[in-house]
Amino acid sequence: MAESRVTPIDLEPVERVRVTVLMDNVTDLLIPDEGRVTRYNAPKALAESAPRVPAQFAAREVPDTLIAEHGFSALVRVEKGGRERTLLFDTGVSPNGAVENMRRLGHSLRDVEVIVLSHGHWDHVTGMEGVARTLGRVGLPVTIHPEFWSRRRITFPGLDPAELPSASRSALEGAGFEIVEDRRPSFLLDGSTLITGEVDRTTEFEVGFRGHESLRHGRWQPDPLILDDQALVLRLRDQGLVVLSGCGHAGIVNTVRYAQKLTGEQRIAAVIGGFHLSGPMFETIIAPTVDALSELSPGLLAPAHCTGWKAVHRLAAAFPDAFVQATVGMTIEL
C-alpha cells in the first residue's frame, strides 16, 4: 500500500476526554483506582447502591458484576467549550454484553450521538444488536469504511478454513441506523473528533494478518491488510493526541504515526485499545513495536483486547510510568 500525501487537518483541541471501556477481554475487581484511571472494582461492586441479582446459593443478593468477553467497546465523552459530546466506539462480541455493562455502569445509550465501528470483524460489531434493541429506530449514524461488509475467513496451514461472521447491511439499515461510509479521514462532533479512515502502512514490521482472506469477485483472496481498520483521534489541549484503536490491524505504530501525519501534532497524550500482538504470528513484532512506541513517547498507554499477555507484560516493563492495565469498566480521564 503506497503512502498517501496529506495536508495536515485542523483537528480542534478539546478540554477533556473520558474513555470508558465497556467491553474488553479482562475484568478484575481487585485493581484500585489510580491517578487518571478509575475502575469498576470491589468497593464499587459491593456498594449498597450497586446493581445486585438474586443468587440461589448465597445468603443474600450478589453484585451484578461486569461481563468480560473477547471483544472491544468504549464510550468516549469529549468536552469542548463547556459542552460534552458522546460517541460509542465498537460494540463488542455478543449481542448484549456491551449494553449490559453500560447499564450496570450507569450510562445511557440515549446520550450517544454517533457510533464508530473500527472494522467489520464480529468481535467489534455484534453488540449492535443490543444497541438496536435498546434504542429502537432512532436513525443513529454509524461510521464505517466501505470494506467493512467483506466476507472473510481465516486459513492456517493444516486446518480447514474458518469463515468469520460478517456484518449485514440489510440488518443494520433495517434497524434504522444511518450508515456513513468513507475511506478518507472524516470529522465527527463538530470537528472535535477525527476518524482516520484507511491508515497508511509505513513500518517495515507491521505487515498484516497472514492467512486472513476476503471473498472478492466470487473467489477467496488474501486480505492481510484489513484496510477497513480505522482509529479514532482526539487532540487534547496542551497534551497532544489521544488515539483509540479497536484491534490495530493496521499496526498500532502505523496508526499513531498516521494520526500525527493527519493532524501535524507530534505529541501523544494516550494510546488506548487493541494492538493486535497476540499469538505466534504477531509475537515476533512485539520488540520492534515496543521500540517504536518508545520513540513516540506516549503519556499514557492502555493496551487492551487483542494485544496479548506477552505484549502487555513487555509494554508494562518498558513504560512503567505510562502503562495502564486495561479492564472492563475502567474510565481514563485526560
Task: Indicate the SS3 state at residue 163.
Answer: strand
Instruction: Please tell me the distance from the alpha carbon of residue 202 to that of residue 6, in angstroms, as a whole number.
Output: 14
Residue 148: the pLDDT is 96
Instruction: Please tell me the distance from the alpha carbon of residue 54 to that of residue 203, in angstroms, as a whole number.
Output: 52
Residue 8: the pLDDT is 82
How many domains does the chain divide into? 1
C-alpha dihedral (120, 123, 128, 131), degrees to nearest 10: -150
pLDDT tens track, the chain, 334 positions: 556 667 788 899 999 999 999 999 999 999 999 999 999 998 888 888 888 888 877 767 888 899 999 999 999 999 999 999 999 999 999 999 999 999 999 999 999 999 999 999 999 999 999 999 999 888 999 999 999 999 999 998 889 999 999 999 999 999 999 999 999 999 999 899 999 999 999 999 999 999 999 999 999 999 999 999 999 999 999 999 999 999 999 999 999 999 999 999 999 999 999 999 999 999 999 999 999 999 999 999 999 999 999 999 999 999 999 999 999 999 999 9
- In angstroms, the Cα distances linking 190 to 11, 46, 187, 265 are 10, 40, 7, 19
Write out the three cell numbers for 317: 516493563
pTM: 0.95
CATH code: domain of residue 255: 3.60.15.10
Residue-range definition of the domain harbouring residue 92: 13-333
Instruction: Compute the chain's Rg from CA coordinates.
Output: 19
Whether 7 is covered by a domain: the verdict is no
Whether 5 is covered by a domain: the verdict is no
Whether 236 is covered by a domain: the verdict is yes
Write out the three cell numbers for 41: 472494582
Whether 150 is covered by a domain: the verdict is yes
Whether 143 is covered by a domain: the verdict is yes
C-alpha dihedral (202, 124, 147, 290), degrees to nearest 10: 10
Instruction: Please tell me the distance from the alpha carbon of residue 26 to that of residue 46, in angstroms, as a whole number.
Output: 19
- In angstroms, the Cα distances linking 28 to 31, 41, 44, 47, 240 are 6, 7, 12, 16, 30
